[in-house]
Amino acid sequence: MMNERTELASLGEFGLIDRLAKPFEPALPETLRGIGDDCAVLDYGGESLTLISTDMLVEGVHFDLAYCPLKHLGYKAVAVNVSDIAAMNGTPLHITVSIALSNRFSVEAVEELYAGMQVACKDYKVDLVGGDTTTSRSGLVLSISVLGRVGKDKIAYRSGANVHDVLCVTGDLGGAYLGLQMLEREKQVFLSNPTVQPELSGKDYIIQRQLKPIARTDVVFDLQEAGVVPTSMIDISDGLASEVMHLCKNSKVGMVIFEEKIPVDETALATAQEFNLDITTCTLNGGEDYELLFTVRPQDFEKLRNSPHITPIGYCLPAEQGIFLHTLNGNHISLQAQGWNHF
Ligand code: ADP
Ligand code: MG
């Protein structure tokens, strides 16, 4: 077996995780959910369940220090972890932070990174309670783990959607991807002529969407206030298409999404036009919006109708009807998840 060589790219990220996960079927009665959802779900007794998730950010892969301020990076690293707790309809409580640093960083630079984490800890009301520090020879690596809690009757897995449930999304989509396109373009301009100032005026919203995303803990609160528990939920880290496929696969349903319903910010739309990109493609396959995507029973949707942060974009179908986009001109396009293939 050691002689075999399978290229990582041939499996892709999810294929690899599936293959690695096989021998790790949970054996403990406390493990309600292991690999495969936004968080692992653990039952240590009592009213609530414990949630845990971990996410890593790698320099040159997930961020570029040429345009990503360290303070924003610290904030983002916490927010993306908190987002996975929100995706289970839970409340974040504690984080640990592990960093690998090269001597390229000064103490002040590392403090700047931690200042961003501190702001996020305050925003999301979590305590930083530990971590690990080590050396890196190839750029900054930042790994955060988050622990949270959710009531047993409130938890939302990826797997509970039923036919006729309404598919909803929070906020707007595509902005983070278009913010990244702007930053990349200005970096290239700067590299070819360092005297040119970056031209980012009017783009604050999408730049912020990329550099300092917000985890939708506010919507978890809104759902609770409305007395609604989503039948399934996931956060949008890899683009709408990929996350829709995850909900469908885990819930064994099909879905139709209406292109005209997908919420888009006007700066994002204008920027897509500037770059000659199709805005719907940006929402489907761009990443890092960290909005929540969830399904609710039709009667529960009525209770959310007036929420300014929630948009219905489709509904669940029997699995055999497939997963497709109803386009502006009335065509049905089968959805393919592109997401981000890390390899
Ligand atoms: P998310 O996008 O919500 O952060 P991922 O797509 O990163 O989730 O991961 C999907 C699932 O696979 C999660 O349950 C995660 O804990 C698990 N997972 C990812 N990488 C590994 C790994 N190297 N070993 C074990 N489990 C992993
Ligand atoms: Mg997630």
**Ligand 1 midpoint to CA 119 (Å):** 26
| pLDDT category of residue 181 using cuts at 50, 70 and 90 | very high
Q: Is residue 190 part of a domain?
A: yes
Q: Is residue 161 part of a domain?
A: no
**Cα–Cα distance between 304 and 264 in angstroms, integer?**
19
Do both 171 and 93 map to the same domain? no
The residues lining ligand 1, judged by C-beta closer than 6 Å to any ligand atom, are: 17, 20-21, 35-38, 55, 84, 237
Q: Is residue 232 part of a domain?
A: yes
Residues 6+ apart with CB under 8 A from 177: 210, 239, 282, 285, 286, 287, 288, 289
Which residues make beta-bridge pairs with 326?
Answer: 258, 332
What is the model's pTM?
0.94
Ligand 1 atom 5 nearest Cα: 38
- Mean pLDDT (the chain, rounded): 94
Rounded mean pLDDT of 201-220? 95
**Ligand 2 midpoint to CA 9 (Å):** 22
Do both 211 and 143 map to the same domain? no
Query: Does residue 192 carry a pLDDT above 90?
Result: no
Which residues constitute the domain of residue 126?
48-151
How high is the pLDDT of residue 2? 61
| pLDDT category of residue 201 using cuts at 50, 70 and 90 | confident
Q: Is residue 18 part of a domain?
A: no
Q: Which ligand is nearest to the CA of 53?
A: 1
**Ligand 1 midpoint to CA 60 (Å):** 20
Ligand 1 atom 19 nearest Cα: 17
Worst-scoring range by mean pLDDT, 58-72, 108-122, 147-161, 229-243?
A: 58-72
Q: Which residues surround ligand 2, an ion (CB under 5 A)?
A: 38, 84, 235
Compute CA distances 209 → 72, 130, 212, 289, whole Å.
11, 28, 6, 7
Which residues make beta-bridge pairs with 33?
Answer: 41
Do both 117 and 241 map to the same domain? no
Rounded mean pLDDT of 162-168? 98
Which residues make beta-bridge pairs with 234?
Answer: 293
Which residues make beta-bridge pairs with 59?
Answer: 63
Rounded mean pLDDT of 278-289? 96
Do both 246 and 116 map to the same domain? no
Q: What is the pLDDT of residues 120-155, one digit of tens each?
A: 999 999 999 999 999 999 899 999 999 999 999 999
Q: Which ligand is nearest to the CA of 144?
A: 1
**Cα–Cα distance between 126 and 118 in angstroms, integer?**
9
Q: Is residue 15 part of a domain?
A: no
Listing DSSP states for 109-145 in one string gives: HHHHHHHHHHHHHHHHT-EEEEEEEEE-SSS-EEEEE
Total number of domains constituting the chain? 2
Q: Which of 142, 80, 83, 145 is nearest to 109 (CA)?
A: 142
Pick the atom of ligand 1 nearest to 35's CA. Answer: 14
- The identity of residue 277, as a single letter, is L
How high is the pLDDT of residue 342? 52
**Ligand 2 midpoint to CA 282 (Å):** 19
**Cα–Cα distance between 330 and 283 in angstroms, integer?**
18
**Ligand 1 midpoint to CA 36 (Å):** 7
How high is the pLDDT of residue 183? 93
Q: In a 10 Å sphere around its CB, with 0-12 CB exposed, 13-18 middle and 19+ buried, how is residue 184 labelled?
A: middle
Do both 73 and 135 map to the same domain? yes
Output the CA angle 174-211-82, nearest 5 degrees.
Answer: 85
